[in-house]
Amino acid sequence: MAVSFLEHGTGRLLDIVRPGMLCAFDFDGTIAPIVDDPAAARVAPSVLRRLAVLAEFTPVAIITGRSLEDISLRLDFFPEFVIGNHGMEGLPGEEWNEERYRLSCRAWLHDLQGALGRAGLDPAIWIEDKIYSLSVHYRLAQDPQAMESKLRRLLEDTLPGVKIVDGKFVFNLLPADAPDKGQALEMLRDLVRAPSALYVGDDVTDESVFHLPHDDLLTLRIENRPDTAAEFFLPDLAGMPQFLDMLLERLSGILHAEAASSMRRHR
Ligand SMILES: O=P(O)(O)OC[C@H]1O[C@H](O[C@H]2O[C@H](CO)[C@@H](O)[C@H](O)[C@H]2O)[C@H](O)[C@@H](O)[C@@H]1O
């Protein structure tokens, strides 16, 4: 169970911040508010400004369930890494797997379109084709709660062996052996040799990061959930600017102190 970041997490933030740390963020529900139409999602300007500054100080990664093509239209700043499809797309050195994921996903899309057509469930259910994975959205169904179990059964029957990860009124369909966000975060950390890291997310696919050892990784979930493995929670996205300000203040303080001491040494 996570504890409130604002009540109990600030000391931990001060400990974890080190020059060169990796700061990683999920997209929907974390830096962009949830909206009915995924095409309308945008980073809140107050968060965008702070992320842009952060990316000048230290490696920043966005690790999202969206495709790279989609997310690249939505980030108006320059993070060092943008990883799509829950960890499948954009990981340096992992590109050789992408064609295999793409081919499986084409077959799922065909089978699923057929099964959904035959089942005649709510017409508001739609498939987001992300080339390497699919998301089946039911947010706008007449009774989303009732639809959840029916749709889950249909997906399990139609696509046995496919990994189904729940999300916010969405089922994410992924190859069973694809890297998850946790593996993506660890690979990026190794790549930049980050002495520490933090990750902010809001959903079930982010739990693979929250389950990583917490020694030098701070994890924060937007919205408290009793079943989360994150260390801390923020009640909602409105707390992000304050969180980023604390992070920026600490990081810039350490970097300035280091620069000052290096100047003294070289005098
Ligand atoms: O890992 P994320 O970046 O959080 O992506 C997870 C899914 O996010 C999107 O769907 C969710 O956000 C939509 C826009 O706010 C909302 O309408 C939908 O109900 C949510 O499930 C995205 O469309 C999916 O592809 C991502 O897998």
For the chain, 267 residues long, give each residue's pLDDT as a single digit of tens. 899 999 999 999 999 999 999 999 999 999 999 999 999 999 999 999 999 999 999 999 999 999 999 999 999 899 999 999 999 999 988 888 889 999 999 999 999 999 999 999 999 999 999 999 999 999 999 999 999 999 999 999 999 999 999 999 999 999 999 999 999 999 999 999 999 999 999 999 999 999 999 989 999 999 999 999 999 999 999 999 999 999 999 999 999 898 888 888 887
What is this structure's pTM? 0.96
Which residue, chain included where needed, has tokens 């690790």? 63
Take residue 33 and report the two structure tokens written for it: 């508010």
| Ligand 1 site, residue 200, Cβ cutoff 6 A | no
| Ligand 1 site, residue 166, Cβ cutoff 6 A | no
Residue 53 sits at φ, ψ, to 5 deg, of -70, -45
Side chain identity at 174, as an amino acid letter? L
Residue 49 sits at φ, ψ, to 5 deg, of -55, -45
Distance 233 CA to ligand 1 centre (A): 19
Residue partners of 69: CB distance under 8 A and separation at least 6: 84, 131
Could you count the other beta carbons within 10 Å of the beta carbon of residue 171?
A: 22
First to last CA, the chain: 50
194 SS3 class: coil
| Ligand 1 site, residue 64, Cβ cutoff 6 A | yes
Q: What is the ipTM of this complex?
A: 0.98
| Ligand 1 site, residue 50, Cβ cutoff 6 A | no
| Pairing state between β 163-167 and 170-174 | antiparallel
**What number does the ligand 1 atom closest to the CA of 30 have?**
4
> Does residue 134 contact residue 127 with C-beta atoms inside 8 Å?
yes
| Ligand 1 site, residue 58, Cβ cutoff 6 A | no
